[in-house]
Chain A
């Protein structure tokens, strides 16, 4: 039964409410200690259902642990630790508590054994992430947070409808494997996919994340999309159409990132791209593919946070975010440059980095399944990742033309967060066994074969050649690229205004008609109130009795007819 154990996610959520009362060193210590304590508790939890409850006749399991959930909860807590360290110097008092609620809720989703708990933590994540975005403090951040929360509430409603339908259909709340075989399951799948950044609503992600503060986008990059990957891994493994969704996301991310000028929006598009690899793996659905998706989520969280940390360090130091205004920063920010480049190599799956040992499992699964076209697309995409994130980001931010800016490397807390995450990126690349040991299925895969290293180097280095040969085509311009968010930022606005104009016109017409009717009625009433008029006439009592009887008769008739 309910033996007393701490819920690692709730440690972060409740701890977040303590933080506003602390100051200075105590606050910093608490920020670092909370994720560590939660990690410790997580690793002491045995596998199985640890908390159970009855609710409206359903069996709930608010705390359940297995290999997959422990893996994701671990990386989420590591991320809360690294992000907390990076953000120690953040002036906003709201951001870290909000981020801890957000991270705790993400852990809550991974440790939920039933769909009701999943939904509760899912919505708490939306609240936490919106507050992180809000803590950015700029007008742009506030406007983006409103659009962001609107999309996530929509996703939440769809998920809620799906879960309710599932409960009614099956009478079972347990979060187990499903298939898109009913309206309810489709709704659940759509709710999950919205958070993953899948089409057609992918644009919410690059719209919102780059508007957060220099540290806020580090937190935002980790949790929402990867919890979506987790629930898809658990709920819909082997759903074939996810392969195509994933491939679409991969190329969407590359193409939009290639066109983008804002350094953090480049990285935001590349989140969609990387999550695409995971979703494609979930769609392939073999043990190798699912292991690959889970491992890639793990390494992705680290290197993407590292990339956004280096971008955040640049933003904090220069106040600039456009590639066209940056460049040459390696002169004065050597540590940021090196750490950002390590992140860029890891996202590109260079040998000896974490991306190499995780993404290749998804590719291997496509090979094992003899899915030639999927494999060709994944190989092209791997080259494209190097192009849009691996070279483009460090090249335009740290190298290219000299912008003349000479900002110093960031303060110690930010430096150490970047160094620690760089270490993990390379550590996992050199020594993948500890990560492989955590994966949901036994791993029978050797990443470092001569063939694999050589072919990957060919793919990446020739992609680099393409970048430099075609550099004039990639010249940064002061532009954005329209995305689906145009529909709700502009088209919806226009539609709303058009409806407003139409309503006003209809309203004016109706008003005129009502005024005419009113004037006519006023004349009638005045005539009725004159002596001998309708209201001042005397009537016999019998007439009243007759009318009362008619009314009662009509009532009786209606009663029987009903």
Chain B
């Protein structure tokens, strides 16, 4: 039996999540301490890149899902192994 990898233990995954959320918060909270010199007005909104990145990704996932409703097919659609013949 192989040793359980530290990544396989749920308590470590929880720690990773906490660390990730802390880093997320830090990137936003660091804004006042960095000279941002915004190029467009919209960039001056607080945490613009954070919420824009999140919203854009959410929109893309939803958009992909919607497209999938119309265009998804079983992966045997073109025959097994992707071959047509």
Q: Is A372 an interface residue (CB 8 A)?
A: yes
Measured in the bound complex, the distance between the Cα atoms of B42 and A148 in whole Å is 44
B5 lies within 8 A of chain A by Cβ? yes
Is the CB of A543 closer than 8 A to any CB of chain B?
no
Q: Known: A143-B85, A258-B61. Is A458-B27 also a contact (CB below 8 A)? A: yes
Q: Which residues of B lie under 8 Å from residue A458 when comparing CB positions?
A: 27-28, 47, 49-50, 53
A147 CA to B78 CA, complexed, in Å: 13
User: What residues of chain B lie closer than 8 Å to A450, measured between beta carbons?
Assistant: 34-35
Enumerate chain A residues within 8 angstroms of B2, measured Cβ to Cβ: 331, 406
Q: Mark A432-465, 1 if CB is under 8 A from B, else 0.
A: 0000000000000000001100111111111111
- Judge whether A481 is part of the interface by a CB distance below 8 angstroms: yes
Interface residues of A in 198-253 (CB under 8 A from B): 210-211, 251
Within 8 Å by CB of A482, from B37, B48, B59, B73, lies B73
Contacts of A142 in B (CB 8 A): 83, 85
> B45 at the A/B interface (Cβ < 8 Å)?
no
Q: Which chain A residues border B65 with CB–CB below 8 Å?
A: 473
Contact A454 to B72, CB < 8 A, known contacts A139-B85, A367-B39? no
- Contact between A455 and B78 (Cβ–Cβ < 8 Å)? no
Chain B residues closer than 8 Å to A462, beta-carbon distance: 24, 49-51, 53-54, 57
Question: Whole-angstrom distance between the alpha carbons of A181 and B50 in the complex?
Answer: 43
**Residues of chain B with a CB closer than 8 A to A322's CB:** 75
B1 interface contact, C-beta 8 A:
no
| Interfacial residues of chain A within 255-271, with CB under 8 A of chain B in the complex | 255-256, 258-259, 261-262
Interfacial chain B residues near A473, Cβ < 8 Å: 61-62, 65
Contact residues in A for B74 (Cβ distance below 8 Å)? 478-480
Q: A142-B83, A331-B5 are in contact. Are A480 and B54 (CB under 8 A)?
A: no
Q: Residue A379 contacts which of B34, B52, B82 (CB distance < 8 angstroms)?
A: B52
Q: Is B10 an interface residue (CB 8 A)?
A: no
Whether A375 sits at the interface, judged by CB under 8 Å, is yes
Are A387 and B75 closer than 8 Å at their CB atoms? no
A478 to B80, CA, bound (A): 12
The docked-state distance in angstroms from the alpha carbon of A417 to that of B84 is 34
Q: Does A182 contact B (CB under 8 A)?
A: no
Quick one: given A139-B81, A479-B74, are A454 and B30 in contact (CB under 8 Å)? yes
In the assembled complex, the Cα of A454 lies from the Cα of B5 at a distance in Å of: 33
Q: How far is the CA of A387 from the CA of B55 in the complex (A)?
A: 12
Question: Is A474 an interface residue, CB under 8 A from the partner?
Answer: yes
Question: How would residues 56 to 70 of chain B score, 1 for a CB under 8 Å from any chain A CB and 0 otherwise?
Answer: 111111111101100
The answer, yes or no, to whether A66 is at the interface (CB within 8 Å) is: no
Are B71 and A481 closer than 8 Å at their CB atoms? yes
Given that A454-B34, A462-B51, A473-B61 are known contacts, is A383 also in contact with B56, CB under 8 Å in the complex? yes
Listed by A's residue number, 16 A-B pairs whose Cβ atoms lie within 8 Å are: A138-B83, A140-B82, A259-B72, A380-B52, A380-B56, A380-B59, A384-B56, A402-B8, A450-B34, A451-B36, A455-B36, A457-B27, A461-B24, A465-B20, A465-B24, A479-B72
What is the interface of chain B, defined by CB distance below 8 A to chain A? 2, 5, 7-8, 20, 23-24, 27-28, 30-31, 34-37, 39-40, 42, 47-54, 56-65, 67-68, 71-75, 77-78, 81-85
Q: Which residues of A contact B (CB under 8 A)?
A: 138-140, 142-144, 147, 210-211, 251, 254-256, 258-259, 261-262, 322, 330-331, 367, 372, 375-376, 379-380, 383-384, 387, 399, 402, 406, 450-451, 454-467, 470, 473-474, 477-483, 489-490
- Shortest 7 CB-CB distances between A and B: which pairs? A466-B57, A380-B56, A458-B49, A140-B82, A459-B53, A383-B53, A258-B64
